[in-house]
Amino acid sequence: MPHDPGFDDYLSVETARASYDRNDAGKDKAAGFSLLWGDGVHVLEGDGSLRKVRARGQTGWIDKNQLGGMSLLEIYFIDVGQGDGLLIKTPDFRHIMLDGGYSRRSQPTGKSAADFIDWKFFKDYGADTIVLDAMIASHIDFDHYGGLDDLLDVDQVAELDCSGITIDAFYHGGLSHWAAFGKTREGLGPFEKTADGRKWFTRLLDDRVSAEAATGGTGPQLRGRWGALIEKVVAARSASGTPTAIQRLSQQSEWLPGHDAGDEVPIRVLGPIAGEKNGRPTLLRLDTSQSINTNGTSVLLRVDHGKARILLTGDLNAKAHQSLLAEYAGREDEFTCDVGKCCHHGSEDVSFTFLQHMHAACTVISSGDHEGHDHPRPRVVAASGLTGFREIRDDKLVTPLVYSTELARSVELGRPESVVAGTGAVAVEYGTDRLDEVSIAYKVTAAGALNPGAERGTLDRMRVMHKLIYGLVNIRTDGNRIVAATMNEGDRTFAVKSFDARF
């Protein structure tokens, strides 16, 4: 059920500055906030050439000629450190959350994609409930679904500004961690070999009945954090109050429900590769490696709007790419896109041939600081450029573009000058010459770690984080033109690149 925030108008230019003071409207360095093409506004006052608007949770004055736009397809590649987190917002305000990064407790910043979703609905829309038309877990690695768990965990909702959440449908790829299969193989379930030599997983999570049975004690049970997530999904409710629908996705699905070929934003489901044995669904087993199987069975989606195509690849790897190319032999153009999410955070485990078929004009890499995997790898950054769609205009490169959420992130650090302990008459101040006497015990959570590590140090050797700018990459299109935007570190304006959709 789409959530319409009731905007009065939309920004028609690539970017604009809303000034807090009416008299400063139009001045380059006026105090205010930045808006991006397609941003919705509530018009509070109209006065000649200026309009007082509320947008992005703030109020300011802009030129009326900068309005007159329309609602766009927006895809937010959220900075979740190591992991993936995306929000898709269609022109008619359907919202699809695809992955969410690690959970808060496993994030160095203490934030996951849930915090951005909360900001979007509470600050930008002025809503007190998060309304998702769909939530999708691309696969069963915690750096992708931990942030989904944050939204579903009622104990953590109090940390958000919104007071509740509804989810009309939950989608997944089927591969799961099963308690019944034992711990030696990470519980991915039994598999069988077919006459063509390929192997197929035969125990899959499927629909709502399957999820209720797998978490309710009937038959094989899900285990670990994945099992805990599915329990919460089973307890979730839609906007109409009915239980959240649950469905497995594969290339056999063809389209995401509600987004078929006739929709304004059709969404193709291109993977993972599923089969059937004795009337039961199976999933292609790619390797003996647990990680190759979990990553390689990521849900593969292509979001279309007008002439624009965006390919969302999860953590697909080389073996998955090769299997997909075989499955789509003669139809490899299904993978060709204007914007492509780089597979597996910039890992080198990719097929160059698959990247050539993607031929993306813009590649977005989701990777994070202190994540232990050294992503993105130099060869993959180079390959994303080499295989990208090239456009040169006026002796300048228009595309390919390569973005990284890690590179878009920035941190401002300060040097302590003094510290005051206590209040009133008993307050004690330590200046720079005595900061070596102030010892601080603190805990550090490495990306993906389940438990924080204890550390201690003196204040004279420490720095204070003054400001963190998250490395969100914002993609917007009206179906003809595509804008890619990130936040400038200095003045918090948008750095924008635009190019034409080509399909």
- pLDDT tens figures, 461-481: 778 776 666 778 999 999 999
286 and 264 within one domain = yes
pLDDT, mean over the chain? 89
Q: How far apart are CA 174 and CA 230, in angstroms?
A: 12
pLDDT at residue 158 tops 90: no
Q: How sure is the predictor about 450, in pLDDT bands with cuts at 50, 70 and 90?
A: low
Residue where one domain finishes, among candidates 365, 382, 406: 406
Residue 501 DSSP class: -
- With respect to residue 475, please indicate whether it lies within any of the assigned structural domains: no
Q: Residues 172, 249: one domain? A: yes
Band of residue 185 on the pLDDT scale cut at 50, 70, 90: low
pTM to 2 decimals? 0.91
Question: Which amino acid appears at position 257 of this protein?
Answer: P
Same domain for 28 and 95, yes or no, is no
Looking up residue 37, the CATH number of its domain turns out to be: 2.30.30.40
At 182, the pLDDT band (50, 70, 90 cuts) reads low
Answer yes or no: is 498 within a domain.
no
Q: Is there a single domain that holds both residue 310 and residue 259?
A: yes
- The pLDDT, as a whole number, for residue 500 is 97
- Please check whether residue 395 lies inside any domain of the structure: yes
Would 21 be classed as within a structural domain?
yes
> How many structural domains is the chain composed of?
3
Tell me if 489 is assigned to some domain.
no
Mean per-residue pLDDT, 91-104:
92
Distance CA 348, CA 361 (A): 20
Task: Supply the pLDDT for residue 80.
Answer: 82
Q: Do 47 and 180 have their domain in common? A: no
The residue from 71, 104, 121 where one domain ends is: 71
Give 302-319 pLDDT, tens digit per residue: 999 999 999 999 999 999
Quick check: is 54 in a domain? yes
Q: For residue 40, give its domain range.
A: 1-71
What SS3 state is found at 248? strand
Looking at the structure, tell me whether residues 93 and 3 fall in a common domain.
no
pLDDT digit string, tens, across residues 358-384: 999 999 998 765 555 566 767 888 888
Locate the DSSP E strands across 463-503.
464-469, 473-477, 481-487, 494-500
Record the tokens describing residue 33, joined without a space: 């906030």
Within this chain, do residues 167 and 243 fall inside the same structural domain, yes or no? Answer: yes
Domain-ending residue, one of 50, 71, 92: 71
Residue-wise pLDDT tens digits, 4-13: 899 999 999 9
Do residue 46 and residue 182 come from a single domain? no
245-248/169-172 β-pairing: parallel
pLDDT at 477: 98
Helix 224-235 to helix 142-152 angle (10° resolution) is: 40
Residue 111 falls within a domain, yes or no?
yes
